[in-house]
Amino acid sequence: MPPHLKHALPKAFWVAGLALVFLLLYAPILSAVLFSFSADRFPSLSMSGFSTKWYAQVLTDRAMLEALSNSLTVAGITALIATALGFAAAYADYRFRFFGQKAVLALALLPPTVPLVILGLAMLAFFSRIGIAGTLAAVVAAHVVIAAPFAMAVCRLRLAQLDETLETAAQNLGALPHSALARIVLPHTLPAILAAFLITFAVSFDEYVISWFTGGLNQTIPVAVLTTLQGQVDPTIHVIGTLSFSVTLTLVLIALAVVLRQSGGAMSKEETS
Partner 1 sequence: MTSSAFPARTSGRRFHFLFNRAWQALWVLPLPAWLLLFFAVPLGLLVAISFWSVVNYRLTPDATLSAWRYVLGLDFLWASFWRSYGLSMASAVAISLLAFPASYAMAFVAAPRQRLILLGLAIAPFFTSYLVRIYSWQVFLTEGGVISSVIQAFGGKGESLLNTYFALFLGHATLALPVVLIMQTIALANVDRTGISAAANLGARPGAILFRIILPAARPGLTLGLLFAFLLSYAEFVSASYLGGGTFQTLPILVTDLVRAGQQWPRAAVVSLLMIASLLITAFVTVLWAYREKG
Q: CA-CA distance, 191 to 205, in Å (whole number)?
A: 21
Stretch 107-136 residues interacting with partner 1 (CB under 8 A): 107-108, 110-111, 113-119, 121-126, 129
| Residue 216 binds partner 1 (CB under 8 A) | no
Position 137 contacts partner 1 (CB under 8 A): no
Q: Does 217 bind partner 1 (CB under 8 A)?
A: no
* b/e sequence 211-231, b meaning 16+ C-beta within 10 Å: bbbbbbebbbbbbbbeeeeee
Binding flag, residue 260, partner 1 (CB under 8 A): yes
178 binds partner 1 (CB under 8 A): yes
Contacts with 85 (C-beta within 8 Å, 6 or more apart), sequence order: 144, 148, 151, 152
Q: Is 95 in the site for partner 1 (CB under 8 A)?
A: yes
160 binds partner 1 (CB under 8 A): no
Q: At what angle do helices 62-95 and 186-206 cross, to 10 degrees?
A: 140
Min dist CB 53 to partner 1, Å, is 19
Nearer to partner 1, 39 or 267 (CB): 267
Contact 164, 108 (CB under 8 A): no
231 binds partner 1 (CB under 8 A): no
215 lines the binding site for partner 1 (CB under 8 A): no
Distance of closest approach, residue 161 Cβ to partner 1, in angstroms: 16
Phi, psi of 244 (to 5 degrees): -65, -40
- What is the footprint of partner 1 within residues 183-212 (CB under 8 A)? 199, 202-203, 206, 208-209
Backbone angles phi, psi at 215, to 5 degrees: -80, -15
- The strand ranges marked E within the chain are none
Work out how close the CB of 57 gets to partner 1 at its nearest, in angstroms, rounded to a whole number: 16
Q: Which of 62, 173, 174, 270 binds partner 1 (CB under 8 A)?
A: 270
Cβ 62 to partner 1 shortest distance, Å: 21
Question: Do 76 and 143 contact (CB within 8 A), yes or no?
Answer: no
Q: Which of 47, 72, 80, 88 binds partner 1 (CB under 8 A)?
A: 88
List C-alpha distances in Å: 51 to 2, 37, 55, 239, 270. Answer: 52, 5, 9, 11, 50
Determine the 3-state secondary structure of 38 from DSSP.
Answer: strand
Q: Does 39 bind partner 1 (CB under 8 A)?
A: no
* From 61-69, 70-78, 161-169, 243-251, span contacting partner 1 (CB under 8 A): 243-251
The minimum distance between CB 54 and partner 1, in angstroms, equals: 13
Other CB atoms within a 10 A radius of the CB of residue 188 amount to 17
Q: Which stretch binds partner 1 (CB under 8 A): 31-39, 61-69, 70-78, 162-170?
A: 31-39
